[in-house]
Amino acid sequence: MTGNGTLTRADLAESVNRHIGLSRAEAATMVESILEHMCAALARGENVKISSFGTFVLRDKTQRMGRNPKTGIEVPIEPRRVLTFRASQTMRDRIASS
């Protein structure tokens, strides 16, 4: 992991390189391919489930009324699609015990 506590694509590729033995370029291509498949599935409106890790879920939110906190004026919030992540029970257990 990088020094700021964030796992990056490069970190993932480096891990694949060390553990599987692929070249750095092949490892980077594999990571990019996996992420591209995930993005394409989400763009098609499909949820992405990774066993023992979690599920990326798409939700369609309807239009609703919101309030500008500064002025107090009510404004409509447009309908939109949001992406959420639900960690698996296995992941939750691993995080809680660390």
Can you give the pLDDT of all 98 residues of the chain as single tens digits? Answer: 656 789 999 999 999 999 998 999 999 999 999 999 999 999 999 999 999 999 999 999 999 999 999 999 999 999 999 999 999 999 999 999 87
| Ranges of each domain in the chain | 1-45, 47-98
**Alpha-helical runs (H) found in the chain:** 9-20, 24-43, 89-96
Q: State residue 97's pLDDT score.
A: 87
How confident is the model at residue 8, as a pLDDT?
Answer: 94
Contacts of 8 (CB under 8 A, 6+ apart): 1, 2
The second-level CATH assignment, the architecture, of 47-98 is: Irregular (4.10)
pLDDT the model gives residue 3: 62
